[in-house]
């Protein structure tokens, strides 16, 4: 165990941060520090830091976190609150093509993690920095590990969603991200939770499809809550609802049934990858009114738009 100040205790660390005015909570956490054999830090940022402590994650939990991360070649593993470095180093030992780094606000632990990397022959792929987690550049991370209390994870949630690239796996030892349902949970011997950072799809999207031999314009509206998304669309004077919508990282898929002029009722199945302000993939079109008509697959490229024609007047024509 070790004292760890402010927002930097995670895998393998716990952060205890009593709220101002909560004397009972402060006393309880102070007792935890004393029972753990740790010392209170004479921090300059107030009681929030003084009662922080570090508890190393058991190796079997670390191994489960590494397994749940589903490491791939060339992954970059970042540990927010890296303590003695054991999670980063375990990931690097699990896959020789992975590199990683960690940040911690306790310089003694940064030095310990650096020495552990050297002793285990991993110094060429592992780095540890004396840094606050809120100042960490996570833009290149593909896996981010944490052992943080929910209050701190809630504070970090906007940073993770804004700065981590879509598809990044967020792995937590035990604690939930308030308000954000995990994509995967393992409860074998304690909880390990995984979130996949979703692409940002909320907003207006436009595209054309040559279903009748000439382009038909699609005006779509997508709404999003973390990895949950739904949408509606207008084609000409017809409107449809997207169904079976799935968003995992940058992968997006959904279906729609809509009647098109000169074509009739169709089922359209879209799948693609979100690349910032565009989506690229394909769409399968099935003509419901003509069972003998073969399924046709078209390239699909959607562009984010600032305005939409979805709300323009429809009129009374049938």
3-state helix, strand, coil in the chain (%, to 5): 20, 35, 45
| Tally of domains in the chain | 2
Domain boundary among 196, 213, 228: 196
Alpha helices in the chain (DSSP H): 23-36, 47-50, 59-68, 86-94, 107-119, 150-163
Determine the average pLDDT of the residues in 233-258: 97
Predicted local distance difference test score (pLDDT) of residue 27: 32
- Whether 69 and 115 share a structural domain: yes
Examine the pLDDT at 100 and tell me if it is beyond 80.
Answer: yes
Identify the band that residue 318 occupies on the pLDDT scale cut at 50, 70 and 90. low
Contacts of 76 (CB under 8 A, 6+ apart): 98, 99, 100, 101, 140, 141, 142, 143
Claim to verify: residue 185 and residue 281 sit in the same structural domain: no
241, exposed or middle or buried, with CB in 10 Å at 0-12, 13-18, 19+?
middle
Do 142 and 268 belong to one domain?
no
State the CB neighbour count (10 A cutoff) for residue 93: 14
pLDDT for 261 equals 84
Q: How confident is the model at residue 92 (pLDDT cuts 50, 70, 90)?
A: very high
Which strand ranges, in their side-by-side order, compose the sheet holding 143-146? 126-130, 99-104, 76-80, 143-146, 169-173, 192-196, 184-186
List, edge to edge, every strand of the sheet that includes 243-248.
Answer: 238-241, 228-235, 216-225, 203-209, 296-305, 278-287, 264-275, 251-260, 243-248
In this structure, the answer to whether residues 159 and 222 fall within a common structural domain is: no
Tell whether 148 is covered by a domain: yes
Span of 40-44, 70-74, 183-187 with lowest mean pLDDT: 40-44
79 and 190, same domain (yes or no): yes
Structural domain includes residue 167 = yes
Looking at the structure, do residues 186 and 264 belong to the same domain, yes or no? no
What pLDDT is attached to residue 262?
81
- Could you read off the pLDDT of 138-161 as tens digits, one per residue? 999 999 999 988 999 999 999 999
User: Is residue 219 situated within a structural domain?
Assistant: yes
pLDDT of residue 53: 63
Q: What is d(CA 161, CA 249) in angstroms, rounded to the nearest whole number?
A: 11
Which CATH number characterizes residue 300's domain? 2.40.128
Tens-digit pLDDT profile for residues 173-190: 999 999 999 999 999 888
Q: Averaged over 252-279, what is the pLDDT?
A: 95
Mark whether 175 and 225 lie in a shared domain.
no
Looking only at the bridges linking them, the beta strands covering 169-173 and 143-146 are parallel
**Last residue within a domain, chosen from 180, 196, 212:** 196
In this structure, are 137 and 248 located in the same domain? no
Note down the domain range covering 264: 203-305
| Whole-number percent of the chain with pLDDT over 90 | 73
Based on the number of CB atoms within 10 Å of its own CB, is 222 exposed (0-12), middle (13-18) or buried (19 or more)? buried
For position 246, what pLDDT does the model report?
98
What average pLDDT does the chain have?
85
pTM of the model: 0.83
Pair (191, 230) in one structural domain: no
Looking at 85-99, 152-166, 253-267, which range is the least confident one? 253-267
Same domain assignment for residues 187 and 229? no
Whether 170 maps to a domain, the answer reads yes
Which residue, of 196, 214, 232, is where some domain finishes?
196
In a domain, 208, yes or no: yes
Minimal CA–CA distance to 103: which of 13, 38, 177, 194?
13
Mean pLDDT score, 2-31: 35
Q: How far apart are CA 25 and CA 74, in angstroms?
A: 43
Indicate the range of 48-52, 184-188, 245-249, 304-308 predicted with least confidence: 48-52
Specify whether 234 is located in the same domain as 267: yes
**224 and 100 within one domain:** no
Least confident of 13-22, 161-170, 187-196: 13-22
Over residues 79-107, the mean pLDDT reads: 97
CATH number for the domain spanning 115: value is 3.40.50.150
91 domain residue, yes or no:
yes
* Alpha-carbon separation of residue 110 from 123, 126, 138 (angstroms): 13, 12, 18
**Mean pLDDT in residue range 13-20:** 33
**163 within a domain of the structure (yes/no):** yes
pLDDT in tens, 268-290: 999 999 999 999 999 999 988 77
């Amino acid at each position: 165990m070790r004292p760890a100040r402010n927002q930097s205790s995670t895998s393998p660390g716990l952060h205890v941060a009593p709220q101002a005015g909560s004397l009972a909570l402060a006393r309880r956490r102070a007792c935890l520090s004393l029972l753990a054999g740790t010392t209170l830090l004479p921090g300059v940022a107030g009681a929030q830091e003084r009662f922080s402590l570090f508890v190393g994650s058991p190796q079997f939990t670390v191994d489960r976190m590494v397994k749940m991360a589903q490491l791939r070649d060339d992954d970059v593993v970042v540990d927010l609150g890296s303590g003695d470095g054991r999670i980063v180093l375990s990931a690097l030992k699990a896959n020789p093509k992975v590199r990683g780094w960690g940040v911690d606000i306790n310089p003694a632990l940064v030095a310990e993690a650096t020495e552990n990397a050297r002793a285990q022959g991993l110094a060429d792929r592992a780095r540890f920095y004396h840094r606050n987690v809120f100042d960490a550049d996570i833009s290149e991370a593909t896996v981010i590990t944490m052992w943080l209390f929910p209050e701190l994870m809630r504070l970090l949630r906007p940073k993770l969603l804004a700065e981590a690239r879509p598809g990044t796996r967020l792995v937590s030892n035990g604690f939930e991200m308030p308000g954000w349902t995990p994509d995967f949970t393992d409860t074998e011997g304690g909880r390990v939770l995984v979130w996949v950072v979703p692409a940002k799809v909320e907003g207006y999207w436009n595209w054309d499809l040559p279903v009748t031999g000439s382009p038909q314009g699609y005006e779509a509206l997508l709404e999003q809550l973390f990895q949950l998304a739904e949408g509606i669309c207008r084609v000409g004077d017809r409107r449809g609802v997207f169904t079976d919508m799935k968003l995992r990282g940058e992968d997006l898929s959904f279906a729609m049934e809509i009647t098109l002029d000169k074509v009739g009722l169709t089922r359209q199945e879209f799948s693609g990858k979100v690349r910032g302000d565009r989506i690229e993939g394909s769409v399968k079109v099935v003509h419901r009114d003509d069972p003998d008509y073969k399924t046709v697959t078209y390239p699909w490229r959607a562009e984010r738009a600032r305005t939409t024609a979805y709300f323009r007047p429809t009129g009374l024509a049938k």
